[in-house]
Chains A and B, each alone.
Chain A
């Protein structure tokens, strides 16, 4: 056994966050996924400057295979540079994924927190509403929203967010129900802490771990959702997204399969990376796995 000298010094103040980060670093798959994800984000942000080809411009003969005339990923049916499209598409896909996740977190956490904290009729009403949204056919509902109000980026984001907040609401409510009975919440009440602060200053920080994990996974599913919508043509024609590339090239899948598979691969890698990071977060934030 390695001999460890006991330190009688006061230990460093080790915040729960720092400790969770330590746990995260031990999950190699998650760390690798995080690196990939950071690279994808860099590409999304800086890519258009580093590779300034216009994704809408016809630059070469249609259906040029990857590598042809220096176009690394080839061109699509209109002769547009696929690499430029995927780089620019990353922006839109990630942006919609993040924004839609934020929308659903905002709705879900608010609804779940109020229901779990106040219980009684507030809980009844809010959870019935949640159930109503849960049983809606999500794809159909968001298609209706986009079809009615126009296929702009904010509208698509909102449509995705508004159909996917129910899971967050249920998780938040469950966590609130559990945590509000813990003694430290009782102690804060005995200390006269007002309700709003109890909800968002005392209970919510302790309810965050599963919400964070769920949110990470939701970014992934929002990207998939957006891809689905744009595949069906419900997309802003002025921007390019991964799903839209697949959708517009879908007729040529047999002749030029790379025009569909390459953006598909981009979606796959991104969503997989997000899932792995979410998994790592779950392990890192789950107090059962952490030793006391």
Chain B
């Protein structure tokens, strides 16, 4: 992976103000805290994590849909986060978003052709005829019939609506598409159709994906490299094979072992890494490792000292004090 990255995010933080009543001191919740990652052109980076991990917020910040607090996000050579006005509009043309909920992501009052055309109307100065041609082509590319363009969103099934959402995201010929839980609301059979479609479109148009999901199976299938987030931090980052075959962070191991498998029906997963309890209160995080309170190998030191990402080979890093030590063997993976 020596290609120059299309998207490069450095030390990104996103914070939300929390109201504490009265005129007291303002306090902030860091939904994304000092996160860095890169996505090479034409590839897919997956960000996985549980609810509250900050994965969606990070994606929204990259798309300039929530304001970032600190950090840099570069698309090629251009800084995304500092753009305003006309430059921002030009940038939006290059970065598009596919949303989770196929029911709420389409405006119920508009015909679907107009929904797909909306980015062209706002972001391009193409003629009506050109726009019409683009919309026609997009409907074909995502597997919808031309005569369906006149219909309204409620006349489509969930899978078809997600196809419309994909067509809208493709309208301005973006370089980067951010898929935020793009298939989690769909039934499994339809999910397979959409995942295959996304991969076909990627090959066809040379798209780069930032793929946000909580489903490890889907991420494993879709992504070339993966970042695992926990409580606003990336805890482990690796290429696909290293992450799934040789996970280094205790949280990644716990996550992988928690997924029910079909390989060995009738018995619970072997070697389950039990992580008791719930994530810590995001308003009141420990100074050290955020996973320490649930980590099976945590030592007292862990909740005091923050672990920094440590490299394991060229494409793999994990933020744990015990990477490469015997301590990790205690939570060894299956096989």
Contact = CB atoms under 8 A, between A and B. Distances in A.
Contact between chain A and chain B defined by CB under 8 Å: yes
Interface string B50-81: 00000000000001010000000000000000
Contact of A14 (B63, B65, B155, B168): B155
B261 interface: no
Interface stretch (B104-112, B266-274, B286-294): B104-112
A185 to B, nearest CB: 8
Interface in B92-116: 92-93, 96-97, 99-101, 104-109, 111
B119 A191 contact: yes
B132 interface: no
A14 B104 CA distance: 18
With most chain B CB atoms within 10 A of its CB, the pick from A16, A187, A205 is A187
Contacts of A11: 151, 155
Contacts of B107: 184, 188, 202, 206
A192 interface: yes
Given A10-B145, A184-B104, A192 B123 contact: yes
A4 interface: no
B152 A15 contact: yes
Nearest to B64: A190
Nearest to B101: A183
Contacts of B111: 13
Contacts of B122: 191-194
A186 B118 contact: no
Contacts of B147: 10
B154 interface: yes
Interface size class of A (residues with CB under 8 A): 20 to 34
Residue of A10, A182, A184, A292 with highest tally of chain B CB at under 10 A: A184
Contacts of B123: 191-192
Given A15-B152, A187-B168, A192 B119 contact: yes
B89 interface: yes
B180 to A, nearest CB: 9
Contacts of B315: none
Which range contains the number of B residues in contact with the other chain? 20 to 34
Contact of A187 (B88, B89, B99, B152): B99
A28 interface: no
Given A186-B99, A191-B119, A192-B122, A16 B151 contact: no
A139 B96 CA distance: 53
Nearest to A182: B104
Interface string A1-22: 0000000001101111000000
Given A187-B99, A292-B154, 5 more contacts: A11-B151, A13-B150, A183-B100, A186-B65, A190-B97
Complex A-B, nearest 10 residue pairs according to Cβ-Cβ distance, in ascending order: A183-B105, A191-B119, A183-B99, A192-B122, A13-B150, A184-B107, A205-B109, A190-B97, A182-B104, A192-B92
14 contacts: A10-B145, A11-B155, A13-B150, A15-B152, A183-B105, A184-B107, A187-B97, A190-B92, A190-B97, A191-B168, A192-B88, A193-B122, A206-B109, A292-B154
Interface of B: 63, 65, 88-89, 92-93, 96-97, 99-101, 104-109, 111, 118-119, 122-123, 145, 147-148, 150-152, 154-155, 165, 168
Interface of A: 10-11, 13-16, 182-184, 186-194, 202, 205-206, 292
